[in-house]
Amino acid sequence: MKEKIKVQQNEAKQIEETHLQGFASLCGTLAIGLFVLTFVFQNFVIPSPSMASTLLVGDHVMVERVTLAPSDSLASFMPHRDLQRDEPIVFYKPVVDANSEYTILVKRVIGVPGDRIHIRHGIVYRNGVAQHEPYAAQPTYANYDPYRDDFPSIPAANRPDVTAQWSLDLPNHIQGEDLVVPPGNYFVMGDNRTNSIDGRFWGLVPRGNLIGRPLFVYWSFKTPEDQMYKTDMSERASFTLHQIVHIFDETRWSRTLHKVE
């Protein structure tokens, strides 16, 4: 009888240990998931057509945050590298908006520190070499803008779409006909060049403003281009309901897992 009771006690102990082990495993999994979502990856929704056709309004992208983070911000075993020319990046806009908040943007890196950049008739010249950019929209005779498409060639001071600070800073970075990217900064532009408010209008992106690299589109939903301007709660709730109702027929299935390049 004593042996039977001892066996039952051992079985109960094993069951208890199994439950504790399961709970510990669950906690470990949640902790790892939280770490990954907080420090390694971040989701980002494309709000404007400035990067079309590389990225469309309504694309939900996964952003990798580790490799471009400052080398001393995480453990030394995490990989780090410098930003490369022509890659898309997600970053905090260097100019604070009217509501005193930093806007998160995605653009393409055109110039890294030391690069000499100028644009002529929509063609980017980097260090004197015309760049082949099949993803970039070019101006036409009908929509040509001398400030935007021949940058930097005319003063920015009288442009209402250029920030006041950049209109003052821009001349300090011009040598000859080129914008020279200073240390610790990057010059970025949208792929939809004729419909992108980018570095030409608000300036350079400091290294500390970088968030990460967009890797791929994990979901894309047909979204009006003016949706980002609808800030009323009822309008946002209405669009969320619209997404739920039309998730199957208005999802751009062909863009699922589309690699961002």
Domain positions in the chain: 46-259
Backbone angles phi, psi at 145, to 5 degrees: -130, 115
Backbone angles phi, psi at 123, to 5 degrees: -90, 130
pLDDT by residue for the chain (261 residues), tens only, comes to 555 555 445 544 454 456 555 444 444 444 444 444 445 678 899 999 999 999 999 999 999 988 876 655 444 555 677 889 999 999 999 988 766 567 899 999 999 999 999 999 999 999 999 999 999 999 999 999 999 999 999 888 889 999 999 999 999 999 999 999 999 999 999 999 999 999 999 999 999 999 999 999 999 999 999 988 888 899 989 999 999 999 999 999 999 999 999
Q: 190, 133 in Cβ contact below 8 A?
A: no
Architecture in CATH for domain 46-259 = Ribbon (2.10)
Strand partners, 107: 89
Give the closest residue to 109 by CA, choosing from 212, 27, 22.
212
